[in-house]
């Protein structure tokens, strides 16, 4: 079955075009990392390719290689900045696989011993909270996180 066409109107495509705001953690030529607006943990970051890929299955391998290296860099920085005990990485493909936004993304979730992820309520965090966390993580990135 041919891959479904990329939807240029999806939320992350609009963020990449600058049509919607985000709380940026890192931007390179190929990758954007920003705070999840409905975080399941303090410091929940999304890492996306700038290439218009729908899922992990259809991104070209070179872009995926660049992306996963940035996911590692963000995960290290999140862990250091927020003094986490561990990190959970999520990545979902297609609605059947749990994907809601049809632009490839990795979730980076800092974890602390005996602390559960927050339930999914649809509640958004306040911009100032997200900005403070993003600044901490960006600070760790700047020092090699
Ligand atoms: P999923 O496609 O299921 O992997 O999840 C999409 C993620 O995007 C969810 O964790 C949402 O909270 C998050 N999200 C949706 N809209 C925005 C937005 N405008 N800015 C940041 N994160 C978002």
pLDDT in tens, 8-53: 999 999 999 999 999 999 999 999 999 999 999 999 999 999 999 9
Q: 4 lies in a domain?
A: no
Q: 120 lies in a domain?
A: yes
**The CATH number of the domain where 138 resides is what?**
3.30.428.10
| Nearest protein Cα to ligand 1, atom 17 | 37
Count of structural domains, the chain: 1
Q: 20 lies in a domain?
A: yes
Q: Which residues contact 83 (CB under 8 A, 6 or more apart)?
A: none
* Tokens found for residue 53: 């890929």
Percent of the chain exceeding pLDDT 90 equals: 95
| Cα–Cα dist 60/64, whole Å | 6
Residue 134 CA from chain centroid, whole number = 12
Q: 5 lies in a domain?
A: no
Q: 3 lies in a domain?
A: no
Q: Determine if ligand 1 sits within 6 Å of the CB of residue 98.
A: yes
Q: 1 lies in a domain?
A: no
- How confident is the model at residue 142, as a pLDDT? 94
| Nearest protein Cα to ligand 1, atom 20 | 37
- Mean pLDDT for all residues in the chain: 96
- Please identify every residue annotated as catalytic: 105
Q: Determine if ligand 1 sits within 6 Å of the CB of residue 22.
A: yes
Is 70 exceeded by the pLDDT of residue 141? yes
The mean per-residue pLDDT over the stretch 74-81 comes to: 98
Q: What's the pTM value of the predicted model, to 2 decimals? A: 0.97
Residues spanned by the domain of 74: 11-142
Looking at ligand 1, which atom is closest to the CA of residue 40? 10
Cβ atoms of 73 and 137 within 8 Å: the answer is: no
């Amino acid at each position: 079955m041919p891959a479904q066409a990329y939807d240029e109107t999806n939320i992350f495509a609009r963020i990449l075009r600058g049509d919607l705001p985000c709380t940026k953690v890192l931007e390179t030529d190929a990758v954007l990392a920003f705070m999840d607006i409905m975080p399941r943990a303090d410091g929940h970051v999304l890492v996306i390719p700038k290439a218009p890929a729908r899922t992990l299955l259809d991104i070209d391998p070179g872009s995926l290689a660049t992306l996963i290296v940035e996911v590692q860099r963000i995960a290290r920085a999140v862990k250091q900045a927020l003094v986490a005990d561990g990190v959970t990485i999520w990545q979902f493909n297609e609605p059947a696989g749990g994907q809601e936004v049809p632009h490839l993304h990795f979730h980076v979730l800092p974890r602390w011993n005996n602390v559960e992820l927050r339930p999914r309520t649809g509640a958004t965090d306040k911009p100032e909270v997200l900005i403070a966390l993003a600044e901490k993580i960006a600070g760790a990135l700047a020092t090699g996180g």
